[in-house]
Amino acid sequence: MNSEPYKRYREAIFEKLQKAFRQEKEILLSAKWIANALKKEGWIYTSGTGHSHMFAEEIFYRAGGFARVQPILDPALMLHEDASGSTEVERREGYAQTLLSPFPIGPNDVFIISSNSGRNPVSIEMAQIAKEKGAKVIVLTNYQHSKSVDSRHSSGMKLFQVCDLFLDNFGDIGDAAIAFEGLEGKVGATSTVIGAALLQAIMVQAVGLILEEGIKPEVFISSNSDSGEVHNEALLSKYKHEVKIL
């Protein structure tokens, strides 16, 4: 075993990435749903609570990312205003209904929901609402962790049980992966690295599927490149009235 802690973390990440990318069926089907949604001028909705909100930002207004992305970025569920308070909010039943009410989610859409534990009501109810409206629901979660804990929702269900498809990040229970002698708990979270890689892999695959049909997908280019500014301004002009935070 490598003695340097960073090498132990590196090996843990490499191992989990290999496992995650063996989910070929899930990656390909997710990409197919996204490609179909975009061909029908549907939207990619995406959300996560706590640190998982970063997955919504990962594919929103991003160089190389699709333009038709609607992120659900609610400050009360994020960390930048009240980190500990967000933990309480994500456990409130009924909050998701209020949060999603402004968004016209429908059968042409895909909703990607990220939650490492998959046990809290807001994420569970977002999935249930999106499915009721006919959208395909894709979940990023830690299957081992989720199975090891009780649901905090009155239904007793967890996120992986209420979606159309889930991808496992193969994280340790509790997310962090590296133990030190004399230290309570582990360090070195892995869910963000693995989840972001899976998401980008799905998006790349979806682009390939759309191009195979002779359709040019609407994709942002880095605004710091010479051609990016003009390209992106056209997309912003087209979609800013529909994606309020663009």
pLDDT digits (tens, 9 = 90+) for 179-188: 999 999 999 9
Closest CA to 221 of 243, 236, 199, 240: 236
66's CB contacts (< 8 A; 6+ apart) are 34, 38, 44, 59, 203, 206, 217, 218, 219, 220
Closest CA to 129 of 149, 148, 153: 153
Please tell me whether the overall predicted TM-score, pTM, comes out greater than 0.85 for this model: yes
Tell the burial category of 221 from Cβ atoms under 10 Å away from its Cβ (0-12, 13-18, 19+).
middle
Kindly list the domain boundaries of the chain, sorted by start residue.
Answer: 5-239
pLDDT digits (tens, 9 = 90+) for 34-91: 999 999 999 999 999 989 999 999 999 999 999 999 999 999 899 998 999 999 999 9
Closest CA to 123 of 77, 71, 171: 77
The predicted pLDDT at position 160 comes to 98
pLDDT digits (tens, 9 = 90+) for 80-138: 989 999 999 999 999 999 999 999 999 999 999 999 999 999 999 999 999 999 999 99
Judge: domain 5-239, CATH 3.90.1150.10: no
Opening angle at CA 144, ends 15 and 96, nearest 5:
115
Taking the C-alpha atoms of residue 194 and residue 15, their distance in angstroms, rounded to an integer, is 10
Residue 228 has pLDDT above 90, yes or no: no
